[in-house]
Amino acid sequence: MKNSFRTIVSRALVGLALLAAATMSQAETRPSINLSGQVGLIDMPSGEQMPDGFLTLSHSQFGPVFRNSLRFQISPRLSGVFRYVGIRNWGDKVCKGPGPHPLCDGFDIYYDRNFDISYQILTEGRFLPSVTIGLQDFVGTGLSAAEYIAATKNFGPRLKVTAGIGFGRLGSYNSIGAPFGARPKVKIGKGGNFNVKQWFRGDAAPFGGIEYQVNDKLTLKAEYSSDAYTEESKRRGTFERKSPLNFGFEYQPNPSVRLGGYYMYGSEVGLSFTFVLNPDQRPAGGMGGSGPQPVLVRPSRAANPEKWTTGWTAVAGVQTSLLNDLSANLEGTGITVESLGVTATKAQVRFRSTKYDAAAQAVGRVARAMTHVLPASVELFELVPVDHGLPGSKVVIRRTDMENLEFAPDAGHALRIRSDIVEAGLPLAGTEANAAFFPHFNWSLLPYSRSQLFNPSNPLQLGIGARLSAQYELSPGIIFSGSVTQLAFSNIEDKPCPKTNCTMPRVRTDQTKYFTKQPSLETLTAAWYSRLGPDLYGRVTVGYLERMFGGISTEVLWRPVARRWALGVELNYVAKRDYGGALGFGFHDPNQPKRKDYRVATGHVSGYYDFGNGFHAELDVGRYLAGDVGATLAVTREFANGWRIGAFATKTNVSSAKFGEGSFDKGITLQIPFSWLTGKPTRTTRTLPIHPIQRDGGARLEVNDRLYEVLRSYDQTRMDAQWGRVWK
């Protein structure tokens, strides 16, 4: 009787979805996130996608299963999910009784890391549903591995119907057969591999459900699940799956927060919390801060010809006076004039901005100040933003355009098409440096944190404290800097690495030995930055480069300002530092009485490409800290306000067995600009790496202020993306 009822329900849901595909309606109900962090119903996926660029953070739990998920809408059709799963009572049933049990693996809670990807092959139209094809846990150990095709159709503004077919664990209940052949068994090994031969193979099973939006805040859901939870329920007995039906409600008090309650599989209660974030929209609205000063319009040549004379160029000390006046005008804005070169008709200002995260906004502020200070005969403004002593690019603006376009419709676009962004070139002849600025010293005392994530025995290890940083810039491009950290709290465990998993040089797996509760010298370096020629830049950094290594790092970057690409070469020779952040080199291995020394030459050839629309790729090929050779590919999406969300993967000549758990290095990076949170101009950012597991293979040297990161904000593509702020 139960099987008949389930068959009737499944066929009814599939039939309802087919009816939806032939029914005329317009999609109006908003997508929601399921318990796995995907867009979907309750436990099943749907055919929808979130709006482009949206980021969702979610936590869900039912019975012994809990999941923490991060989902990013990479493009309008493509999305990715990183999920961390925990299953309680993993060994309760199989580890009881006399004698060893083959499933008793010693875990009280089983943790698993999942990566999902989905692509919407069809968007909803008047007659057709939206259709998405997805891969779940496609580089994992296989426990959560599944594939699916799901279709969703809206009936008016409130009712939504979803139906789909799943494979893998989504094809494990009430299968209709194996349409694409048997699902081969694969050797999991250390996990993290692409099990391509399994995709869309094996038993297939239907799933589906409905959503009804009662009002703007409340949604009701019901679904038929094709996931039998074979491992969790049948083999290990962590919970009892009595029914394929799930029911629930979700409450959305505001557009950013969604809460859910569910009755799962006829036996369990479920809860969910989802936070929806749009990186392209600031929580506090637009940018605050003081407004710009107005452009000072010159009198016409006919009305006041004396203002337009060029005799001022012969006055002794006039350039020094103009430089001081311009510096005074910009005082308190976070912009410093480094040098000024001026002729009768042209002025070039080299400046640095420590406040504005958009280079175009700093350019606009300096150009306005120039209209207040420079004589009327100076028509051409050349503005050169400088960072670490390096001229990033040169923005050329006609003063007449500043005067005529300030209040024009679409003033930003109008000014841009009349302006040029070119290679910085050399300073004008006779350029005078700002003697009052160099040498320059600054320091900061800020919160500091270190983390070790996703260790099965302790998934969240965190150290919190303070970092004291200082920088002394002797002259443009010659910089001495250092930082000291002090932990106030830490639960980071220093556990010995099993020899079977640590057969490579320990360049990262013993990093916990560097996290001490004593004051620790993090970095102490001397660096030289220089423009070597047109579009060519160089860097040399010497000292304690990072917490674990010190030595010398050299770099050359070829970066044409008007191109989407750049090429770089980096060569390093480093030695491993003493444990605990002390000054010495070499370290003690607890298994050996003598002090050990580790030195390595490492380096990469790097290619960078900007695809437009915020998408950026970096490919690094070379030798890593453990001596292995390979490549790292990183793909990032950057928003105009400074948000960056990306993923990277590294493959080297180290085998999966030798690398250890995870098989190869990979992860996700988030960069959050403080200006997005506060609504006030600042260049401060916070980078949050999500590294599933840190091993020794594919480990790259950490060096502060590599050339491409220093200069990336000043090329033509990024300046154009932020040009709308030139008048702000």
Residue 490, both tokens: 């830490």
Separation of alpha carbons 82 and 69, rounded Å = 6
Separation of alpha carbons 82 and 138, rounded Å = 11
Separation of alpha carbons 620 and 698, rounded Å = 11
Separation of alpha carbons 68 and 59, rounded Å = 5
Q: List CB contacts of 691: < 8 A, sequence separation 6 or more.
A: 453, 454, 667
Separation of alpha carbons 13 and 7, rounded Å = 10
Separation of alpha carbons 670 and 676, rounded Å = 13
Separation of alpha carbons 288 and 433, rounded Å = 32
Separation of alpha carbons 458 and 50, rounded Å = 33
Residue 576, both tokens: 């491993």
Interstrand relation of 685-690 and 665-673 (parallel, antiparallel or unpaired): antiparallel
Separation of alpha carbons 30 and 563, rounded Å = 40
Share of the chain above pLDDT 70, in %: 89
Res. 459: pLDDT tops 50: yes
- Give me the pLDDT at residue 25, please: 35
pLDDT in tens, 203-234: 999 999 999 999 999 999 999 999 999 999 99
CB 101 within 8 A of CB 94: yes
CA distances (Å), 75 to each of 7, 51, 118, 328, in order?
37, 9, 11, 45
Residue appearing with tokens 């436990």: 43
Angle made by CA atoms 591, 592, 597, in degrees to the nearest 5: 115
Residue 595, both tokens: 């002090």
Q: List CB contacts of 454: < 8 A, sequence separation 6 or more.
A: 84, 111, 113, 691, 692, 693
Q: Do the domains at 2-277 and 305-437 have one common CATH topology?
A: no
- Give me the pLDDT at residue 284, please: 64
Looking at every residue in the chain, the average pLDDT score rounds to: 88
Calculate mean pLDDT across residues 632-641: 91
pLDDT in tens, 226-272: 999 999 999 889 999 999 999 999 999 999 999 999 999 999 999 99
Question: Residue 706 is which amino acid?
Answer: R
- Give me the pLDDT at residue 495, please: 66
Helical ranges in 239-289 per DSSP H: none
pLDDT in tens, 489-533: 877 776 666 555 667 888 988 888 887 778 889 999 999 999 999
Separation of alpha carbons 224 and 13, rounded Å = 8
CA distances (Å), 167 to each of 6, 170, 179, 526, in order?
19, 5, 10, 56
Beta bridge partners of 374: none
Beta bridge partners of 619: 607, 633
Residue 247, both tokens: 């029911």
Question: Residue 310 is which amino acid?
Answer: T
- pLDDT-based confidence at residue 460 (cuts at 50, 70, 90): confident
Res. 457: pLDDT tops 80: no
Separation of alpha carbons 709 and 699, rounded Å = 19
CB 58 within 8 A of CB 38: no
Beta bridge partners of 441: 472
Res. 613: pLDDT tops 90: no
Give, in words, the CATH class of 305-437.
alpha beta
Task: Determine which of 28-32, 71-75, 509-513, 705-709 has the lowest per-residue pLDDT on average.
Answer: 28-32
Better-scored residue on pLDDT, 89 or 24: 89
Better-scored residue on pLDDT, 19 or 39: 39
Angle made by CA atoms 49, 52, 56, in degrees to the nearest 5: 70
Calculate mean pLDDT across residues 160-168: 97
Separation of alpha carbons 548 and 184, rounded Å = 44
CB 482 within 8 A of CB 527: no
If you ran DSSP here, which 8-state letter would residue 98 be given?
Answer: S
Residues 277-300 as b or e (16 or more Cβ within 10 Å = b): bbbeebeeeebebeebeebeebee
Separation of alpha carbons 599 and 588, rounded Å = 15
- Give me the pLDDT at residue 497, please: 64
Residue 666, both tokens: 């990979």
For CA atoms 350, 356, 358, 361, the dihedral sign is negative
Phi, psi of 280 (to 5 degrees): -85, 0
Separation of alpha carbons 424 and 394, rounded Å = 5
Separation of alpha carbons 264 and 143, rounded Å = 20
Count the Cβ atoms, other than its own, within 10 Å of residue 209.
28
Phi, psi of 727 (to 5 degrees): -95, 5
Better-scored residue on pLDDT, 292 or 97: 292
Pick from 57, 230, 237: which is nearest to 145 by CA? 230
Tell whether omega for the bond before 476 is within 30 degrees of 0, i.e. cis.
no
Calculate mean pLDDT across residues 710-721: 91
- pLDDT-based confidence at residue 5 (cuts at 50, 70, 90): very low
Pick from 51, 81, 88, 89: which is nearest to 66 by CA? 88
- Give me the pLDDT at residue 494, please: 67
Residue ranges covered by each domain of the chain: 2-277, 305-437, 440-718
Q: List CB contacts of 681: < 8 A, sequence separation 6 or more.
A: 287, 289, 334, 355, 356, 357, 361, 675
- pLDDT-based confidence at residue 331 (cuts at 50, 70, 90): very high
Q: List CB contacts of 561: < 8 A, sequence separation 6 or more.
A: 393, 421, 422, 423, 424, 535, 714, 715, 716
CB 547 within 8 A of CB 579: no
Res. 58: pLDDT tops 80: yes
**What CATH topology corresponds to 2-277?**
Porin (2.40.160)
- Give me the pLDDT at residue 588, please: 61
Phi, psi of 613 (to 5 degrees): 55, 25
DSSP 565-609: EEEEEEEEEEEEBPGGG-S-B-EE-TT-SSEE--EEEEEEEEEEE
Phi, psi of 351 (to 5 degrees): -140, 160
CB 516 within 8 A of CB 580: yes
Separation of alpha carbons 717 and 719, rounded Å = 6
Calculate mean pLDDT across residues 573-596: 74
Interstrand relation of 432-433 and 335-342 (parallel, antiparallel or unpaired): antiparallel
- H or E element at residue 507: none
Interstrand relation of 380-387 and 346-353 (parallel, antiparallel or unpaired): parallel
Res. 26: pLDDT tops 50: no
Q: How many helices (H) and strands (E) does the chain have?
A: 9, 34
Kindly report the three-state secondary structure assignment for every residue of 345-361: CEEEEEEEECCCCCHHH
CB 686 within 8 A of CB 672: yes
Q: List CB contacts of 255: < 8 A, sequence separation 6 or more.
A: 276
